[in-house]
Chains A and B, each alone.
Chain A
Amino acid sequence: MSVQLNDDGELRHFLTTEGLEPQLLTRILDTAESFSGVIGKSVKTVPLLRGRTVINLFFESSTRTRTTFELAAKRLSADVLNVSVDTTTTKGESLLDMLHNLQAMQADMFVIRHAQSGAAEYFARHVNPGVAVLNAGDGWHAHPTQAMLDAFTIRQHKGAFEPLRIAIVGDIRHSRVARSQIHAFNGLGAGEIRVVAPNTLLPADIDSLGVQVFNDLSAGLRDVDVVIALRLQRERMQGALLPGEAEFFRHYGLTEARLQTAHPEAIVMHPGPINRGVEIDSALADGPRSVILDQVTNGIAVRMAVMTMVLGVAPDNTRATS
């Protein structure tokens, strides 16, 4: 799994938060913090990626993630190319052929989202040396920049991770966000990570990733500092996984009342897009506990940080300054 690290232990791709040293995870957050000032200033760009080409290669539709990657690249002065691939119309061309063609356009970095777990790692193993791959979501496996922007947002509001209890609620089984959060928060030393879901939405042996498993929402939220609701895709609400969205909301939907058992200053997060009234009540999503819009803003800084780190041009990077 070290395909994302070079011999010095530095990021050369960013594929997963699993197995990363705490120092490296912290450095991503620190680098992002140095960029978050950039966003607030009137001059919003820095020239760190001037002359570099970033290709956003999205095999799954996305608005928020693709947009924030694009903004991040532009604020680093990179040239950005967005490629949306409809896999139903490109059956003839293999992934590798497509990759080789895009590489021939002198890309320095691919930002890849794909419906299949392991797709980003597959690309990373096949790109030319010096070309970086950022995983913008692969199947149920990983969405590492989302997890890091969540960690950034938590640190912004709560400080150190060690005393924190964090609950992740909802469709854990199909969630690449949850898996990446679990690895990132564990790597950053979070006190306790809980997952709360009905058994049909929990993958086998999820406890092996280092979480406490709860079926009951009130018990799962007791004394937690951070509550993260996951998106429940509508196509999963019928059929054998769940009887319907009303029953799901009744037992697992987040409301102000359900947060009674949580820490009084608990914050509420959601990776978006929100299904209001399914996994979270509107009053809570728009209320004072919610940091959902902070997550979106922080996404830009975190992606800027990772983009500069994988190309070795991060502001605090010794290779860049020597």
Chain B
Amino acid sequence: MSRILIRNGRLIDPASGLDELGDIAVADGRIVGLGGNVADFTPDTQIDATGQWVIPGLIDLAARKADIASEARAAAAGGITTLVMPPDTDPVMDTPSVIDWVQHRADAAKGARVVPLGALTHGNQGTTLSSMAALAAAGCPAMSDGGTPISDSLVLRRALEYAQTFALPSLLTPLDQSLAGGFLHEGPTATRLGLAGVPVAAETAGLGRQIAVAKAAAARVHFGRLSSAEGVRLLSAARNDNRALSADVAIHHLFLTDQDAMDYDARFHINPPLRDIVDRQALRQALADGVIEVICSDHQPHDTDAKAGPFASTAAGASGIDTLLGLVLRLVEDEVVSLSAALASVTIAPARLLGLESGQLAQGAPADLVVVDPHSPWFCNAQTLNSRGANSPFIGWEFSARVCHTLVDGRLVHHTPE
């Protein structure tokens, strides 16, 4: 394996609080020296990071993909070194053989790592428990309901208890599906457009039940994609007496609202739906307060046909891996959170949740690194998107920072030409 020396960059590590100019030495896939402690290192390759940032590679807690190879490379180009993949694939990731197949495909892609989440129940059906211990042995660091809540509360409790037996966190979707038969946040915009709405209660009714069951199961539970101020309030109160609860937010919920869909623009057809400006502000505040610790892209690439047609007939979901880093840094520009806190939400926070070694700049840690030029603006458009999914809601936005180099496991997997 090659030996790489990244020289004279601004090293930013939210895990340790490190923020200083220095070098990083990489050998055998690991960080072997950083800061002032890389004296006797003979590299094969040097990367001059003068004027640039060196940060841990991003860990994207929720990214679905049509094509593992293309999306793993697109992720690397966006500064993401780990894609965490929910189990609602076809076939469902509920047996070790499916996990093996996914990891084989990901390894061949030579892009970002892919970390599969195991299904809590067989086929995501919500009726019988999956072989969680075997799934963990195959490489799943956590279990998930794959976007479909387990509606039977007893099955949910048993699934959480069983996962906890093997110290596996459970990632749940806070949703009551019987309330979620709509296409846009229930409110004035949906009423104007004549679209069936999804009320906030679709989130809170599901979340409230899951909070109660999580406590009964004494399990480590993480809620994926909170969308509402009410949801934040519920979670915040629950965390006061149960520290084993946590949550993430999809990056688009921190920037967009239901009003963005006012021209029936299907790029804003997303689940959970974009809500109103009060919800967006509450989510930003929850991030600042630490009630929400993780940001993900909730990447759902769709081909053009899937997003063509009247709003309700289009596929829900947004393409997100190209813009995750740019938007996270914009939260700093918008003074929502500090640079360190912003980066923590996409590095060390998801790493701790899943028990991954990566997500930090530390001696001996996996060399999943990104070199970023903070003063190299780019426009998001169809040409600059690397994902197969052109369904980005951020087309037309300008971002200030560009990814120059991405290392995964000590290998240079992406390099942006000067």
- Does the CB pair B310–A209 fall under 8 Å? no
CB of A125 to closest CB in B, whole Å: 9
- Does the CB pair A117–B312 fall under 8 Å? yes
- Does the CB pair B197–A116 fall under 8 Å? no
Binds A, one of B80-88, B168-176, B186-194, B348-356: B186-194
CA distance A104 to B159 in the complex (A): 58
Interface residues of A in 57-115 (CB under 8 A from B): 94-96, 114
In the complex, which residue of chain A has the Cβ closest to the Cβ of B191? A203
- Does the CB pair B194–A179 fall under 8 Å? yes
CB of A215 to closest CB in B, whole Å: 17
CB of A257 to closest CB in B, whole Å: 32
- Does the CB pair A114–B310 fall under 8 Å? yes
Complex partner residue of B194 from A94, A95, A117, A122, CB under 8 angstroms: A117
- Does the CB pair B264–A122 fall under 8 Å? yes
A interface footprint on B191-205 (CB within 8 Å = 1, 0 otherwise): 111111101000000
Chain A residues, CB < 8 A from B197: 203-204
- Does the CB pair A96–B194 fall under 8 Å? no
- Does the CB pair A206–B195 fall under 8 Å? no
- Does the CB pair B263–A204 fall under 8 Å? no
Chain A residues, CB < 8 A from B310: 95, 114, 116-119, 122, 138-139
CA distance A122 to B307 in the complex (A): 12
CB of A71 to closest CB in B, whole Å: 27
Judge if A176 is at the interface, Cβ distance under 8 Å.
yes
CB of B12 to closest CB in A, whole Å: 44
Complex partner residue of A204 from B187, B262, B311, B313, CB under 8 angstroms: B187
Known A116-B312, A117-B311, A117-B312: A140·B195 in contact at CB below 8 Å: yes
Judge if A121 is at the interface, Cβ distance under 8 Å.
yes
- Does the CB pair A209–B309 fall under 8 Å? no
CA distance A142 to B191 in the complex (A): 11
Interface size class of B (residues with CB under 8 A): 20 to 34
Chain B residues, CB < 8 A from A116: 309-313
Judge if A205 is at the interface, Cβ distance under 8 Å.
yes
Interface residues of B in 283-314 (CB under 8 A from A): 305, 308-313
Chain B residues, CB < 8 A from A204: 186-188, 190-191, 197, 199
CA distance A122 to B309 in the complex (A): 7
The total of Cβ contacts below 8 Å across the A-B interface reads: 74
CA distance A3 to B196 in the complex (A): 23
CB of B406 to closest CB in A, whole Å: 37
- Does the CB pair B187–A205 fall under 8 Å? yes
CA distance A132 to B310 in the complex (A): 18
- Does the CB pair B194–A138 fall under 8 Å? yes
Chain A residues, CB < 8 A from B186: 204
CB of A11 to closest CB in B, whole Å: 18
Chain B residues, CB < 8 A from A117: 193-195, 264, 310-312
CB of A4 to closest CB in B, whole Å: 12
Judge if A208 is at the interface, Cβ distance under 8 Å.
yes
- Does the CB pair A118–B311 fall under 8 Å? yes
Interface size class of A (residues with CB under 8 A): 20 to 34
- Does the CB pair B309–A142 fall under 8 Å? no
A interface footprint on B85-121 (CB within 8 Å = 1, 0 otherwise): 0000000000000000000000000000000000000
Chain B residues, CB < 8 A from A205: 187-188, 191
CA distance A122 to B313 in the complex (A): 12
CA distance A103 to B26 in the complex (A): 61
Judge if A231 is at the interface, Cβ distance under 8 Å.
no
In the complex, which residue of chain A has the Cβ closest to the Cβ of B199? A204
Judge if A13 is at the interface, Cβ distance under 8 Å.
no
In the complex, which residue of chain B has the Cβ closest to the Cβ of A116? B310
Known A94-B305, A203-B197, A204-B186: A118·B191 in contact at CB below 8 Å: no
CA distance A114 to B264 in the complex (A): 15
Judge if A18 is at the interface, Cβ distance under 8 Å.
yes
Judge if A43 is at the interface, Cβ distance under 8 Å.
no
Chain A residues, CB < 8 A from B195: 117-118, 139-141
CA distance A203 to B311 in the complex (A): 18
In the complex, which residue of chain A has the Cβ closest to the Cβ of B311? A118
Chain B residues, CB < 8 A from A209: 188, 191-192
Chain A residues, CB < 8 A from B313: 116
In the complex, which residue of chain A has the Cβ closest to the Cβ of B197? A204
Chain B residues, CB < 8 A from A3: 263
Complex partner residue of B309 from A95, A141, A206, CB under 8 angstroms: A95
Complex partner residue of B308 from A96, A118, A138, CB under 8 angstroms: A96
CA distance A114 to B308 in the complex (A): 15
CA distance A71 to B309 in the complex (A): 30
Chain B residues, CB < 8 A from A179: 192, 194
A interface footprint on B228-268 (CB within 8 Å = 1, 0 otherwise): 00000000000000000000000000000000001110000
CA distance A116 to B263 in the complex (A): 14
**Interface hub of A3, A95, A117, A204 (most chain B Cβ within 10 A):** A117
CA distance A209 to B194 in the complex (A): 12
- Does the CB pair B194–A141 fall under 8 Å? yes
- Does the CB pair B309–A94 fall under 8 Å? yes
CA distance A96 to B264 in the complex (A): 16
- Does the CB pair B193–A206 fall under 8 Å? no
In the complex, which residue of chain B has the Cβ closest to the Cβ of A126? B308
Q: Which 6 A-B pairs have the closest CB atoms?
A: A141-B194, A140-B194, A118-B264, A116-B310, A117-B194, A208-B188
Other A-B contacts than A94-B308, A96-B309, A138-B194, 9 sampled, CB-CB below 8 A, are A95-B310, A116-B309, A118-B195, A121-B263, A121-B264, A122-B309, A176-B194, A204-B186, A208-B191
Task: Give B contacts to A, CB under 8 Å.
Answer: 186-188, 190-197, 199, 262-264, 305, 308-313
A sample of 22 inter-chain contacts (CB < 8 A) reads: A1-B262, A117-B193, A117-B195, A117-B312, A118-B193, A118-B310, A118-B311, A122-B264, A139-B194, A139-B310, A140-B194, A141-B193, A204-B190, A204-B197, A204-B199, A205-B191, A206-B191, A208-B188, A208-B191, A208-B192, A209-B191, A209-B192
